[in-house]
Each structure stands twice: as structure tokens, then as C-alpha cells.
Structure 1
Amino acid sequence: MSISTPQRLRAGLLLVLLLCLLGPAARATHIVGGELDLQYQNGNTYLLTLNLYFDAVNGNAGALDDDLVASIFSKSTNRRMQNVTLPLTTNTLVSYTNPACTSPSLITRRLVYAQRVSLPDATYDDPAGYYVAVERCCRNNGISNIQVPGNAAQTFYLEFPAVVRNGRPFINSTPRIFPALSDYACRGELFYYNFGGQDADKDSLVYELVTPLNGRSSTFDPKPTVASSAPYTNVVWNSGLSTTNQIPGNPTLTIGRQTGRLEVRPTQLGLFVFGIKCSEYRDGVKLGEVRRDFQLKVIPCATNSRPKVLVQMPGRSLPYVVGRDTLRLTPSSPRCFRLSFTDSDPTSALTLSLNPINFSAPLPTLSVLQGTVNTAGVPDTIVSQLCFPSCLDTKGKVYLLDVIVADNGCSLPKRDTVRVAFTAIPDPNGPPVLRTTAASPLRVRPGDLVTFDLTATDPENDPLTLEMIGKGFSATSLGAQLTQASNGNQHTGRFTWRVDCAAVDKPLYEFEFTAVSMLCGERKTTSVVVPIQVEYQNAAPTLTSSLPVATGPTAPPVVIQVPLNGVYEATFEGLDADQDLLALSAAGQGFDLAAAGMTFTPRNGAGQAAATFRWVADCEAARQDGLTVTFQLQETTCRPQPQTRTVRFVLTSPDTMRFLPPNIITPTTRDGKNDFFELDNVQVHLPPDFCDARFAGVKIFTRWGNQVYQSGSRSFRWDGSGLPPGVYYYLVEYTNKKRYKGTITIAP
């Protein structure tokens, strides 16, 4: 099918009109740079973040997105794993190193897009790893070092390893590059900035320059629905420029491979884009990488002179000369040195700082840290004192210290550095002196209060403390205390210990007291040991009583028999050679003494005790089939040896005769002999009623168990009731459930 010339003209006009309508939005120039970041949270959850740097001066407000889409791909296959929508979370301005150097032509926003993302073990297990990409167009029109910058897009890119390795979870977070700044560079002046980062996993980081990625987004499709898979095209450098020569300069742009420090002395004005890559390694194996694109604006700046710092040698008119002089600090030499710093520029604000090179602490101090020179009413030179601590000890080595003065010039401060070499011998620090008022050894008994004082002094008047420990025991758990106080150059302590029974476990306690002085982190000590001997002996008390004494090691307890309503009394006496407090007591086993008619009246005292026991016998002893009482003599001491006597009290029954009932009756003879079966007579002597043991009744049974007679009267008389001769069985019962059984025969 052919198209006529008029049709071609109409189509061309339509395309131009469409481009005009879409132009402002499609050709939005706003991207300064940015980077992706992936941080482990917990489980399979990670936080995916895009930091996008936006040109707040020239950027089209319509290009400020509410969200962007990140796509995750497999490195080995470029298979799309998932797409993640990243909503805009923060929108802030990027600061300058020196806010006073802020330029209205260079204002950058930091847009943060973030979302939590799940990376399951079963899905993200490819040993080759994965990469994340976000594509967006377009870069600034004014970029000076790439071709057609207004049509150049950006691909934000990072790589990360599989989340499982050798069948186990493999946790890793990508490195975080230090936040970018809005700083500009001055033509002909050295520009520097630390892009070095941090890694949550403490992996090794390596930095290098890379060509920024362009990708597939364009002015016609500036915000693709999703990112395309790799490979991504690069931006095209202008003639003479390359990855290793991104910004014209002398020297050109470089980055420290281990430090991430950027340096360039630009020789041309303009806006220059550059790219860096930070790779992370663990045990020598690369895990992943992050890339950052950013821009550096080079402008003409007013001449800024370098400040000057001088270190004055004591006793000399000439200043310190680097490489020739060494400060030698000894106990008798000065430890403070005069510093002077100045700047030929008018109204120059200077700041003095120190940077140790081959040591860490302690650092010297500066009496003056900052000031302004060459302004009305102030001198053109600032003087400060550099003072080294008296405790500094270089242990024979030469330490290096950079003394740095920096001005407030734009865009970055200029500096002057004097590297001072020095050796130092600390002031002498002798051990403290410790004295005590304690006599050695101390002899104590339980109950004694031990007190003595300690006095510590230090020949150099260093601050002192006192420490107390027990050799082989805990002094504080034993109840010993050491209170401390300072009085001038003396430090005193008061030791107190109330000796209690816990102390008798050991015959000797050695308390060690240490006076401690600390100077420059060095601990000097002097110790004294105070032995305290605990004297404790205890003889068992003796218990005597009017009670009968059981004989033999296996003899049963003494049994005391008393008739009903009878009275029994016994006396007790306790003696103790140690004069410990004695206490006599009596306790019934399973009963209350008073409820059983018993009283026990003790008279206790130190080294001696006495008591009286009295029992008015009642039926309680019969109910419990005897009452057992334990008498005890207890001493109040650390290791008591109680003495006891156990006695059983029994109520004597009035029934002293044998129960011998008849076993045959002859009711048919009627001769007055054995005519009846009866038990309540002097010959038989049926057990009488006694306390709770009362006659309940009698029953008579045939040999087949049939009951033929019953009576509840003690004076019953049974004549057989016309039953045939033979053997019958009787059962006599009492209320205490005691029974008497037997046979009775009816003779023919």
C-alpha cells in the first residue's frame, strides 16, 4: 500500500504536534544521580531503597514521581523474579560541607523510595546471584562531559547474592555509600570528598570508577512500567573522556580503591556526571555491588590563600621543621608548645584540629580551637597551646601527630598540616602507701563487733580508692563492710564486721585490702592482709531429771503408768559449762499438753535451767492408747547440741483380774449350779466400764451364725431359752470397739 505526498505531510505535522504536546513532560531534565540499597531486616524480609538525587533548580516538578518500580532479575538467566513498587517516603534537601558556601544555582533534593521485599530461600537460591534495576529518564541538559545529555537516561543498579548457601540461610546487606553533598568544585583548586561507605556485615569494600548506565528509558518513555533486563547501555563520553578520565582535570577524577576518597583538580568549567562502583567481598569472594551516579559542578571561584600553622620549639626562635625535629617529652621537660596559625585572606575563620597517625590515645589538648584573622579589631595571628598529657608514654617509639589548620573557603576549606614527631616518657607513678590500725592477728568470738581503720596515701597525690576482698570467701556476703572517705591527700576506710554464727565455718578469715591509684590508665596497688581468727568451742549441755532412766543403747522409751485421776510429777535440770542461754521445753507427740491434763513450767537462764512437769491422769491417755512427751534442753549458740528425753505416759486400767467366763451351762438340772450363762459376778470379772470403754452388749449365735440372744445389760442371764443342747458362740462388745469372743455349751 502506497502513501501519497499530502498524506505524508499530514502525518508529519501530526507527529510534530504530538511531540510538542508531550515535550515538557517527556524531556524533563531532573536526575542528578542516585543509588540502590538492600538491607536485611529479619527472616526473609529485606528493605529495598532507592536514593534519587533531584535537581531542585532546573528539574521539572512534573518529574517528581510518587513512586518508582524496581525489577529483580536472576544474573545467570536474566529471568525476571519480581517487580517491587517503591513509594516516595522522604523528600529533603542535600546539605553543603560548608553551609556558607551554598550557591543558588546548585540545589539538590534527595528523594527516598523504599519498600520491604520478601526474598524466600526456595526462590532466591541461584549461586550466581541477582540484580535489581530501576530505569528513569532524563539527565540534565547542561551536563558537559557526555553526548546528548538531555536524552540520556539512568539505570540505578545493584547486585546481591543468593539468600541461601550450602542449604543454610545466607544473610547479607549491601554496602551503604556515604551520603552525597551539594558541594561544587572550583576550577584549578583540589576538590575532595569521602564517598567511602559502611557495611553492616563488616565485609571488605573496594571502590572504582565506572561509566554511568543509560538503559532503555527515553524521552518518549521516561518512566517505564518495569525495568528491562541487562545488559544496559552506557552513557557516551565526549571526545577525549573515558571511564578513567571522566572529568577534565590535573589530576583527573580518581577514587581511593580502599578508602572511597574522591579527588580531582578540575581544569574546565561545567557540570560533569561521574559514576563509582562499590564491590563487597567476604573471605575473598565477591558478594555484590552498588553503583552511584552523581554530578559535580565546576565554577570559577575567588582566589583562596592557604592558611599557615607553625609549631614553636621550646627555647628556640625557629619553628618546628617537619622531618628534622622531634619533640622529646620527659618528666623534667615542658609538655606544652606554642602554636600560631594565620591566613592572608581577609576575615578568614580558621579551625585547628589534631589527627593522630600511628597512635590512638591519649591525645594532647588545644587551648584555642578556632578564631578569625584579618578583620577589624582582631590580630592577624591566633595563638594556641598544644599540651601533651603527663601520662603519655610512647614506649620508645616515635609517634606522629598532624596539627591541621583549615579555613572557611569555598567550596571546600583549604588546609595546612604540620606533622609533628614526638617521643614521651611519662611522669613517675609510684605505688600508694597503705596502713591499718588492726592488730594481727585479731581474735574474735561470735557476737563481737570488729572495727579498724585504713589510711592510704600516694606520693604523687594521685586519686585513690580502696578495695576489699576475702581470700577464699566473699567479704560482703559475710556481712563485712568498708566505708571510704577522702581528706586532703589521704584516703581512709573504716572496716566493720559483726561476727555471727556464719563465721564459725572457718577458723581463720584473711581480709585483703588494696589501695589503688590510677594515672593514665595505669593501675598501681599496695595491699595488706588482715587475718581474723574466729574462736569458737561448744560443750554439750547436760540434762538431768527425776524421770526413770532407760538403760542400754536399744532400750525402749521409759513408760510411766498412772491410774485414773492420779498425779505424776517430775523435775528437770539443765547445766552448760559455756554459760550459753538454756531453754527447757516439752512437746506432746500429736496432742496438746494442757488438753491432756499436763503442765510444764520452765525456768530458763544462762548456763542453767530448771523445770517441773505435772500430770493429772485423765481419760485422754486411754483414748490415745498412751501419750508420748519429748522433753528437750536447747542452748542458744552457733552449733547447738540439744539434749532430749522421750517418755510414754499410760493410764492404768482398774481391771487387774483375768476375764474367765464359763464355757458350759446345765439349765435342765435346775440345781442352782451353772443354770445360767452370766458374766457380771466376782468369779468371771467382766472388765468394768473404764473411761470410754463401756459395756455395749452381748450376742449369742448358733454354729451356723444365727443370732439366738442379745442383751445390753451387764447383769444379763441366759439359760438357753429352750434351745437344744450343743455348742453356741458369744460376742461381748465395748464402746471402744474392744470385743471378747468364746463358746458356751448347753449340756443335755
Structure 2
Amino acid sequence: MLTPLRIFTAPNRLRLLLLLVCSFLAQQAAATHIVGGELDLQYQSGSTYRITLNLYFDALNGNPGALDQDLTVSIFEKGSNRRLQNVVLPLSTNTFVAYTNPACTQPSLVTRSLVYSRLVELPASIYNSAGGYYAVVERCCRNNGINNIVLPGNAGQTFYLEFPAVVRNGQPFVNSTPRIFPPLSDYACRGDLFYYNFSGQDADKDSLVYELVTPLNGSSDPADPKPVVAAPAPYSSINWNPGLGTLNQIPGAPTLSIGRFTGRLEVRPTQIGLFVFGIKCSEYRKGEKIGEVRRDFQLKVLNCPSNIPPEMVVLMPNAPRAYQPSRDTLRLQPNADRCVRLRFTDPNPTSRLTLSLNPVNFTGPLPTFASITQGLVRAPGAPDTLVSQLCFPACLDTKGKVFFVDVIVADDGCALPKRDTVRVAFTSAPVPNGAPRITTTANPLPLRARPGDLVTFDVAVTDPENDPITLTLAGRGFQAAAVGAQLTQGISGNQVQGRFSWRVPCPTTNQRLFEFELVATGSPCAERQATTIVIPVQVEYNNRPPTLTSDFPAALSAEPIVIRRVLGAFLRRRWKALTLIPTSLP
């Protein structure tokens, strides 16, 4: 009789247990969890930079075992794909992404912001290739619930940025990548316009350009969710579901778009679900592209309760009728009523409304709300309609052009506020403003003095509109302080009063006329207005050489007088006089 084969011996059981543990850990690491993220490279000093990975983690559906304590970024040379270094980035912060409006929090949408960061050296002796460089992190896997790509649970993400050489033409080329946009925490409502500011900031003031891109998948997958190091380019992309693509990433009417220069995202989704999308932010310096940053993220679309937008009416100054956009233009004149009344309401119950402004084609002083900027309507004890006032500043000068300002009322609805906007066209002439006036006691001009004299006179400055004034002293062709001139001043009522004093020094040059400038400056409406007067001071000073005389008879010719004596003889002669003619000193 054959004995049954006993395969579950102690060593075999141990091997099986290890196999199960390893399989479990691999599943944990490969668990779907990635919402999106981007890389960031910021200059510190010398050859030191800080490289950061911002990874957004699905805190609701993501497995905690997939939350890495470190990730590795690989840096390559573009063109050759030569690997230069691998840098392990430790996890430095782990926080929740906040909603724009906490009252709109959805329990089905919870996102963590994981930040991995470390200082890295990029020496000019190595990072000097004209083609530039790229940095990459690869990680799998994306959320299994994504509705717009094929097999999302098997799709990885390639975090990618490009940066230029750190030296050009033998000189340091300092650059930091754009720090792009706050992470998206809000959801969208089907059928409603969704908008979000994805614009970035650049420490070097480079120009930023935004565009939609297909997210990168790369080489990570469920079998190898966290590669030890990233592979070099090229990187494969995710696969869109039928009917979708780079320019149609989220089903909508209109579909997802991003402002090329503003970074403003907009979409009016037509389907509920979870949708991944990708954008690229390129940076340009002097017209040349020097780098780029990619970000992938997700937008959740829900069915939301109906929210009717608020309504606003702008009333014309000194008239009972409403302002009509595209037909009316406010003509604001000096010393006339420069305010319009606003009436705003919302048909929804218990709605909190907020007013704001957006200048369309100008910068400078904005109109201000003279009364309330927010309030509650259609609630117990609250009115159905709110009234406010918008006033245009007296300084505002459109210089004959038509300016536009959007007057906006927004509610507190979810997911994002509904708005009503009235675009107001206006021209504005400022209140006339006169230049400062200067008077002095310096008289008559030019003032005359000799070295050692003390020159003094009083100064008074007034402004017809009592605007703040500054008074300064300068010299024409010389520094007033260098020759010892002083101007002390103070404020008395609505006047600036000063006293000029100058002890005339002995001249060290041939200059005898000193012209002192007094400048009174006012800045009404942020426009400089100046008045200048000149006080000339003539220094009377004649310095003639001394004259030597004697009782020698006058020479009969131009030949010098020669006295001849025997060598060793004694000469006695009486000089008539040695006269030094004084100068004009007192």
C-alpha cells in the first residue's frame, strides 16, 4: 500500500506562509490610491536645490499600506537619457486637502496631500547640457473607480518635470520650476459650470503657459508598483475610454478646458463619475521654453440639489431705472454723484450672498462698496432683497477711455457658488487738482554774499486741495549738502514751513553763482505734481596777487636790473617798500 504524499511538512508550511505574506504585501503596495500630483524644483543657493514630490492620496478608498514613507526621484539628461542620479525623498508632511467651502464637504471625497522632499546638489560641472534635464518618479496605481480611462486600477502615474542647465555661457543660470496651483479638493455638479484656478507662480517671473495633456502611465504596474528607480524616457500614456481624448478628457458641454495664460479650469460635466485629467505648465524666459511641470488630478462629478443663481440689479445714479449692460455707459464727472445702488437677491431659501468686483481692462483704484458686501436673504428675520452702494473714487481718471468692471454677487451653494454678474461700462474724469505753491522771503534776487556771510530766508508751501506735500532742496550742478546748505522744515496747519541757511565758504573753484532749487511735490491720485523755484546766490569774491615795490629807479627797458659787486664785497641797499595789496576779505 502506498503512503499518501505529505506535502505540508514544516519547511513547506513556512515557505507557503512567506509566499502568502509577500503576495499580501505586494497587493498592499499595488493598491489603488493615487489621485494625482506633481514634482517641484526650487533653487536654494549655490548649486543646492530642493526637489519635492506632491502626491495626492485617496484617503477614503486607498489602502494605508500603499502610503509610502519614501519615494525615489531619478534625474536624466534630455536627449541622451543618461541617468545622473537617484535621490530618495522621505515623507515630510501628511495633511488633508481642504474644501474651498467646508460646508460643502462630501464624505465620498477625502484626499491627503503627501509631500516628499530633500535638498539635492546640481553642480555646474555636470548639469551644463544645453538640452536640459528631466526628473521622474514612477508609482502605481491609480484609483480603480476612475471612469474615463481603460483599466484604471492597473494604470500607474509618472510624475515628470523638465529643467534647464544650471549654467549658460559660463554664467550661472538660476531657475526654479513653477509652483503650480493649489490642489483641487472640490467636486463638480452635473449640469453646472465648474471652475477652478489652477494657475501657478514662478519665483523667476518667467511666463507660464498651460495646456491639457494625456496623463503618463510609465513602466510601473501592479506587478511592480514601486520601481526601485524610474526608467528613462519615453513613457507610455494612459488609454482613454472610447470617445474621449486629450482635448475631451471629461464628458461635458463644454468639455474640460484650461486658460492658456490664466490657468483657469472650466467644464460643465454631463455625466457623474470620477475623471482623471492631465495638464502641463510650461515656463518661458525671453521667448524660449526652459522647463515644464505636469500635474495629474481627478474631478468627481455628483448629482447635486438644484441651486438657482442669485440675481442683481444696478441702478443708475440719480435715476430710478436699472443699468442696462451693453447699452449704458456711466459718465462720471467731478463734483457729481459717483455712486450707483445695487439690489441683489436669491430665490433659494437661507442663502448667504457676497459681493465682489473684477476689473476687466484696467488697473488702479477700484470702486468701493459704501455699505454691506454680504448678507443673508430668505431666512427667518432676514429680508428677501439686500441693498448696497458702489462708489467710484474721485481720483479715477479713464483719460477718455471706456473702462469695464464686473460687479458680482455669489451665493454659498455647493459644490461651487452660483453667480450673477453685471458688467458696468464707465468713463471718469477726476476732480481738478492744482500744483503746490512756494513762497520765500528771499529778495531781491540774486542774493549777494561774501565768504563768511550767513545767508538765510524763509520758505512756505501750500496746496490748493490741502494734499500732503514734500519739500526738498537741491543744487544745480552741485550737491547742496556738500557746500553746507541746509533746509529745516516743519508742518504748521496746512502749510509746510522751512528755513534755508548757508554759511558761505571760501571758494575752492572759480564758481561764484550758486543756484539752489526748492521743489514742492504732491501726489494727488498717485500722480506726481511738482513746483520748482530757483534761488540764485552770487558770491562776491576777488582774490588778486600781491605787489612788490622798491626804490630802485624804474627800468628803462624790459631787461632785468643787474647789480655787479666784487666777490666778497658787502652790499647794503635800502628797499623802499614791500607792499602786499590785501584781497577783498572784510
Same fold (TM over 0.5): yes
Higher RCO (CA 8 Å, separation ≥ 6 residues): 2
Decide whether the 8 Å contact of 2:409 with 2:420 is kept in 1.
yes
Decide whether the 8 Å contact of 1:368 with 1:385 is kept in 2.
yes
Q: Does 1:367 align with 2:370?
A: yes
Q: Does 1:248 align with 2:251?
A: yes
Decide whether the 8 Å contact of 1:539 with 1:576 is kept in 2.
no
Decide whether the 8 Å contact of 1:353 with 1:369 is kept in 2.
no
Q: Deviations over 1:45-78 (max 9, x none)?
A: 4332211111122222222211111223344344
Q: Residues of 2 paired with 1:284 and 1:467: CA distance?
A: 43
**Equivalent position to 2:96, from 93, 97, 104:** 93
Decide whether the 8 Å contact of 1:440 with 1:531 is kept in 2.
no
Q: Matches of residues 580-599 of structure 1 in structure 2 within 5 Å?
A: none
User: Which residue does 2:520 correspond to in 1?
Assistant: 515
Q: Does 1:137 align with 2:140?
A: yes
**Equivalent position to 1:387, from 387, 391, 402:** 391
Q: Residues of 1 paired with 2:496 and 2:169: CA distance?
A: 62
Decide whether the 8 Å contact of 1:440 with 1:530 is kept in 2.
no
Decide whether the 8 Å contact of 2:517 with 2:535 is kept in 1.
yes
Cα–Cα, structure 1 residues 211 and 464, in superposed 2: closer, same or farther, change >3 Å?
closer
Q: Residues of 2 paired with 1:282 and 1:511: CA distance?
A: 46
**Equivalent position to 2:467, from 455, 462, 466:** 462
Q: Does 1:529 align with 2:508?
A: no
Deviation at 1:450, TM superposition (A): 3.5
Q: Does 1:225 align with 2:213?
A: no
Deviation at 1:179, TM superposition (A): 2.2
With 323-332 and 39-48 compared, the bigger mean Cα shift is at 39-48
Cα–Cα, structure 1 residues 579 and 267, in superposed 2: closer, same or farther, change >3 Å?
closer
Q: Does 1:438 align with 2:452?
A: no
Q: Does 1:210 align with 2:217?
A: no
**Equivalent position to 1:324, from 322, 327, 341:** 327
Q: Residues of 2 paired with 1:465 and 1:46: CA distance?
A: 46
Q: Does 1:414 align with 2:398?
A: no
Deviation at 1:33, TM superposition (A): 0.7
Deviation at 1:103, TM superposition (A): 2.7
Q: Matches of residues 487-636 of structure 1 in structure 2 within 5 Å?
A: 487-501=492-506, 506-536=511-541
Q: Does 1:102 align with 2:105?
A: yes
User: Which residue does 1:159 correspond to in 2?
Assistant: 162
Cα–Cα, structure 1 residues 213 and 511, in superposed 2: closer, same or farther, change >3 Å?
closer
Deviation at 1:141, TM superposition (A): 2.4
User: Which residue does 2:570 correspond to in 1?
Assistant: none
Residue segments in structure 2 that go unaligned for 5+ positions in a row:
1-5, 549-560, 565-577
**Equivalent position to 2:491, from 464, 486, 505:** 486
Amino acid in the other structure paired with 1:218? D
Local SS of the residue matching 2:481: coil
Cα–Cα, structure 1 residues 131 and 438, in superposed 2: closer, same or farther, change >3 Å?
closer
Decide whether the 8 Å contact of 2:30 with 2:66 is kept in 1.
no
Deviation at 1:87, TM superposition (A): 1.5
Deviation at 1:204, TM superposition (A): 3.9
Deviation at 1:236, TM superposition (A): 2.8
Q: Residues of 1 paired with 2:66 and 2:345: CA distance?
A: 48
Residue segments in structure 1 that go unaligned for 5+ positions in a row:
1-5, 544-551, 556-573, 581-636, 639-748
Cα–Cα, structure 1 residues 51 and 451, in superposed 2: closer, same or farther, change >3 Å?
same
Q: Residues of 2 paired with 1:290 and 1:264: CA distance?
A: 22
Local SS of the residue matching 2:528: strand
Amino acid in the other structure paired with 2:325? V
Cα–Cα, structure 1 residues 182 and 488, in superposed 2: closer, same or farther, change >3 Å?
same
Q: Residues of 1 paired with 2:127 and 2:583: CA distance?
A: 85
Local SS of the residue matching 2:501: strand
Q: Deviations over 1:707-735 (max 9, x none)?
A: xxxxxxxxxxxxxxxxxxxxxxxxxxxxx
Deviation at 1:535, TM superposition (A): 4.0
Deviation at 1:541, TM superposition (A): 11
Cα–Cα, structure 1 residues 554 and 39, in superposed 2: closer, same or farther, change >3 Å?
farther
Local SS of the residue matching 1:243: coil
Q: Residues of 1 paired with 2:531 and 2:128: CA distance?
A: 63
Q: CA RMSD in A?
A: 3.8
With 110-119 and 500-509 compared, the bigger mean Cα shift is at 500-509
Cα–Cα, structure 1 residues 282 and 465, in superposed 2: closer, same or farther, change >3 Å?
closer
Cα–Cα, structure 1 residues 199 and 431, in superposed 2: closer, same or farther, change >3 Å?
closer
Q: Deviations over 1:532-573 (max 9, x none)?
A: 344456899999xxxxxxxx9999xxxxxxxxxxxxxxxxxx
User: Which residue does 1:672 correspond to in 2?
Assistant: none
Amino acid in the other structure paired with 2:444? S
With 205-214 and 414-423 compared, the bigger mean Cα shift is at 205-214
Q: Matches of residues 1-40 of structure 1 in structure 2 within 5 Å?
A: 21-22=24-25, 25-40=28-43
User: Which residue does 1:452 correspond to in 2?
Assistant: 457
Amino acid in the other structure paired with 1:486? I
Amino acid in the other structure paired with 2:515? E
Q: Residues of 2 paired with 1:456 and 1:282: CA distance?
A: 48
Cα–Cα, structure 1 residues 213 and 553, in superposed 2: closer, same or farther, change >3 Å?
farther
User: Which residue does 2:433 correspond to in 1?
Assistant: 429
Local SS of the residue matching 1:100: helix
With 306-315 and 494-503 compared, the bigger mean Cα shift is at 494-503
User: Which residue does 1:116 correspond to in 2?
Assistant: 119
User: Which residue does 2:181 correspond to in 1?
Assistant: 178
Decide whether the 8 Å contact of 2:487 with 2:501 is kept in 1.
yes
**Equivalent position to 2:311, from 292, 298, 308:** 308
Q: Percent identity among equivalent residues? A: 65
Amino acid in the other structure paired with 1:252? T
Deviation at 1:324, TM superposition (A): 0.7
Deviation at 1:134, TM superposition (A): 1.4
User: Which residue does 1:149 correspond to in 2?
Assistant: 152
With 159-168 and 323-332 compared, the bigger mean Cα shift is at 159-168
Local SS of the residue matching 2:153: helix
User: Which residue does 1:345 correspond to in 2?
Assistant: 348
Q: Residues of 1 paired with 2:392 and 2:457: CA distance?
A: 42
Cα–Cα, structure 1 residues 203 and 554, in superposed 2: closer, same or farther, change >3 Å?
farther
Deviation at 1:314, TM superposition (A): 1.5
User: Which residue does 1:197 correspond to in 2?
Assistant: 200
Q: Report the number of matched residues.
A: 553
Q: Residues of 2 paired with 1:74 and 1:47: CA distance?
A: 18
